[in-house]
Amino acid sequence: MGDTSSAILTWIEHQEAWAPLLFIGIHLLRPFLFLPVMLVCITGGVWFGPIAGTAYSVIGTMLSSLLFYRTIRLVPSGLKRLRGLKEKWMKKNAHLTVKQVAVLRLIPFIHFHLLSYCLLEISADFKEYAKSSLFANFPLAVVYTSMGQWISLLSIPMMIIFSIFLVVLSFTIRKKIEVFVWKDFFHTAP
């Protein structure tokens, strides 16, 4: 699969006028090609430079997020799987804030669509989800596109330290209040 992905990326590099549209298309096909978002954004920075690469990556990740919003309800097994993953890693009634999702998107090994699901849960409608996704996707595109070479030069221990720093940062900007449902707080005996 890795050879196929690199062949596709090399082919796109030689398409000149079509390259931006093909690059955005790669963002949409990324989950099916098993390409990490980080790799696609770094590639955009190398091909198009930091400004255009960031713009194309923002467009691509936004379209991917919006496509996720429109299609996740059509695949109940996928929705159930994401719900199960979220419950496995977080408390039952815990919800991430948009700022936390933005920071967690910077961690290379966290599932992109799991974080999209977290945004879906806290959004009232499509418009709010779109705004939240734009806010959460923008730092990802900026950091990985403009600093692609710096990040690619980091050693594995430095990447782990960077990831731990981002997790701690996400924890410190969390929502400081928690709402309990009456029946969950006071368990009634049967």
DSSP of 72-112: GGG-HHHHHHHHHHHHHHS-TT----HHHHHHHTTSTTS-H
Tokens linked to 185 = 């707080």
Beta strands in the chain (DSSP E): none
pLDDT in tens, 7-40: 766 776 666 678 889 889 999 998 888 888 888 8
Identify the band that residue 158 occupies on the pLDDT scale cut at 50, 70 and 90. confident
What is the predicted pLDDT for the residue at 96? 86
Tokens linked to 59 = 């467009």
Residue type, 117: Y
Angle at 34 between CA 31 and CA 39, to 5 degrees: 95
Tokens linked to 64 = 């991917």
Give 181's DSSP letter: -
Contact of 144 with 38, CB cutoff 8 Å: yes
Average pLDDT over residues 47-63: 90
What is the predicted pLDDT for the residue at 183? 64
Is pLDDT at 71 greater than 70 in this prediction?
yes
What is the predicted pLDDT for the residue at 168? 84
Q: What does the alpha-carbon distance between residue 134 and residue 138 come to, in Å, rounded to a whole number?
A: 6
Tokens linked to 102 = 């933005």
Q: Mean pLDDT across the chain, nearest whole number?
A: 82
Total residue length of the chain: 190
Identify the band that residue 150 occupies on the pLDDT scale cut at 50, 70 and 90. low
Is pLDDT at 161 greater than 70 in this prediction?
yes
Sign of CA dihedral 64, 69, 73, 77: positive
What is the predicted pLDDT for the residue at 170? 77
Contact of 119 with 133, CB cutoff 8 Å: yes
Average pLDDT over residues 133-151: 84
Q: Is the pTM of this model over 0.75?
A: no
